[in-house]
Structure 1
Amino acid sequence: MELRVLRYFQTVVQQRNISQAAAKLHVSQPTISRQLRDLEAELGTTLLERGSRAITLTESGEYFYHQVEQILALADKTVDNLYNQNDIQGSFVIGAAEAKSFLNVAHALAHVQQDYPKIQAKIFSTNADEVRTNLKSGVFDFGVVMEPAIKTDYDFIHLPGESRWGLLVPNRSPLAQQDHVTLADLQQQKLIISHQSGMQDLLQDWFGDSFSQIQVVATYNLLYNASLLVSAGVGAALCLDGIVNTNQSDLVFVPLTPRQTAGSSLVWLKHQHLSTAAETFLKQLKSDLTM
């Protein structure tokens, strides 16, 4: 199984058409068709449903495409950093939870760019579960995760600053007129909560025996789409402050009382060999945090 063939497969899936993929890759259509048939034969499964208008993925194809995306991303990053190993350039990848403390990472990146303009950072906004998965596979070099987080297999740096928990509600809601919301208020709401692991445990800690009275109507990965659910009246989003800009919007963030906060950490796998670009960023972040 060659990387070249995986790129053929990736492009065909993205274009949904073999002719368009062939034109983009500057390869003949029969060549791509033959390579894809050989790939399916090698794997012993059908990856693509070849319709009259567009190509779609089978269930096996969906799984394989996800794996191919990670394989090619890792291959590209490795080649890029090997090619540039004699100079401080190249790229690294950070998977980041949504948090105000990411600003520490942003400042470090700005300082790195001033001294080493050929270094490129690739940022993926995601949750802690995806961060752990992609760190272990090597796709991510670093992750920014919210506390509390299991860090047994990771080295980490605590990022200064905390975010406060609260409720994102429409400005037409009676809660929008309050200075704060209580746990009792949350029990009266249709809640939209983060689906990452650990959220259920956090709510259990907050509510104790009353946890069963919580009504969760939806879960979210990133808060932007959850904010649209709030605007549409689906429910109120339990979230951290400072992630969604509520200025000139129909939404209001109301903090929770008693005050509940969450910090964050930059994490990376223990004993991981980081590229020169990644090491340069890490050194800069440590320097910034000690100033």
Structure 2
Amino acid sequence: MELRVLRYFQAVVNELNISRAAERLHVSQPTISRQLKDLENELGVTLFDRNGHNLKLTNSGEYFANQVNQILALTDKTVENIHREQEIVGSIVIGSAESRSFLNIAQSINAMHHAHPKIKTNIISTNSEGIRANLKSGNYDFGIVMEPTDKSEYNFLKLPGESRWGLLLPRKSPLAKKDHLSFDDLDGKDIIISRQHGVVDQFREWSQKDDPKFNVVATYNLLYNASLMVSAGVGYALCIDGIINTNQSDLIFIPLEPRVTAGTSLVWYKGQHLSPAADTFLKQLTTDINLPLPK
């Protein structure tokens, strides 16, 4: 005796009409009639008195209908409880560099939250050194790092899109009149750079200069703070685009030429056991950006 057949029987009892029950269940009338006949043969009793299209429960049918209602109610409750026990709860911690690619992460967080509202996501803005240290200690589930970076210890997903390097400077600066800046334009200038390890080495590689001739007057972890230093006249900030909204502000971003770009990757330790919440986020992200999970 299958639950599907009991639901057919319950629908016929509620409608007392096979045609209406079939329409309600989106199955054919002959299917309902055949299943009811097989059910009566299996039980060895008559469940309905039939008078043409009119149906009436027999005494045995009344008793069986009451039992079926209890069986199906218990079944539905059991299934609901199983699903409730499987509801995913927990928290995820993501350490993130500042990048416009974070929009992909934010969109996946939003989709995950709608499907699993009891998962909480914690975002901590930091640099690559902070991400590495906290991934190693287990404080972070994931990190979002700027490329290039050593990912030999990590599983990773390269996020869509790239950011362009340039200079954040006051609109009143003579350099602000240019469409782009060459590396020579930075010579002799006071520059604020990211504290991320290897930025000066990257600049040497980009500019093909062994000894950059600008003056590093300050470093920053978060570009917003650097932008305030630029506004205060401390220097120009070497940074990527799309982080500071320069519309209706006293600052402007001018890109470097030749064009220098940086991508971002989501990283997590190889062999790390992900929590159900972290695993759910990772599956959501790979679906959203159409990439397979690393093996």
TM-score (norm 2): 0.68
- Contact 1:167/1:237 (CA < 8 Å) preserved in 2? yes
Q: Name the residue aligned to 1:121.
A: 121
The corresponding residue for 2:260 is 260
How far off is 1:215 after superposition? 1.3
Alignment of 1:105-184 (within 5 A): 105-184=105-184
* Gapped regions of structure 1 (runs ≥ 5): 1-83
CA distance in 2, matches of 1:86, 1:153: 32
Equivalent residue for 2:239?
A: 239
Per-residue CA deviation, residues 120-150 of structure 1 (Å, 9 max, x unaligned), is 1000011111000000000000000000010
CA distance in 2, matches of 1:245, 1:278: 31
- In the TM superposition, what is the alpha-carbon distance from 1:189 to its structure 2 partner? 1.4
Indicate if the aligned counterparts of 1:95 and 1:142 stay in contact, CA closer than 8 A: yes
Q: Deviations over 1:24-55 (max 9, x none)?
A: xxxxxxxxxxxxxxxxxxxxxxxxxxxxxxxx
The 1-side partners of 2:239 and 2:106 are apart by 22
Number of aligned residue pairs: 208
Q: Distance in 1 between matches of 2:198 and 2:216?
A: 15
Structure showing greater Rg:
2
In structure 2, distance between residues paired with 1:238 and 1:116: 40
CA contact (8 A) 1:159 1:265 kept: yes
Write out aligned runs for 1:55-94 (5 A). Answer: 86-94=86-94
By how many angstroms is 1:212 displaced?
A: 4.2
Q: Is the 8 A contact 1:85 1:276 kept in 2?
A: no
Report the AA paired with residue 164 of structure 2.
R
Q: Distance in 2 between matches of 1:135 and 1:187?
A: 38
Q: Is the 8 A contact 2:88 2:276 kept in 1?
A: yes
Percent sequence identity over aligned pairs: 58
Which residue number in structure 1 is paired with residue 278 of structure 2?
278
Tell me the distance in 2 between the aligned counterparts of 1:237 and 1:266. 25
For 1:178, the aligned partner's letter is K
What amino acid does structure 2 have at the position aligned with 1:218? A
SS of 2:259's equivalent?
coil
Aligned partners of 1:98, 1:91: CA distance in 2, in Å?
21
- Distance in 1, matches of 2:106 and 2:165, equals 22
Output the amino acid matched with 2:114. Answer: Q
Distance in 2 between the 1:211 and 1:158 partners?
A: 32
Map of 2:95 onto structure 1? 95
Q: Distance in 1 between matches of 2:193 and 2:129?
A: 15
TM-score by structure 1 length? 0.69
Whichever residue aligns with residue 265 of structure 1, its letter is: S
2:206·2:260 contact (CA, 8 Å) conserved in 1? Answer: no
Q: Within 2, Cα distance between the matches of 1:210 and 1:151?
A: 26
Q: Distance in 1 between matches of 2:100 and 2:123?
A: 15
Inter-partner Cα distance in structure 1 for 2:85 and 2:266: 24
Secondary structure at the aligned position of 2:129 is classed as: helix
Unaligned stretches of 5+ in structure 2?
A: 1-83
User: What secondary structure is seen at the aligned counterpart in 1 of 2:165?
Assistant: strand
3-state SS, counterpart of residue 134 of structure 2: helix
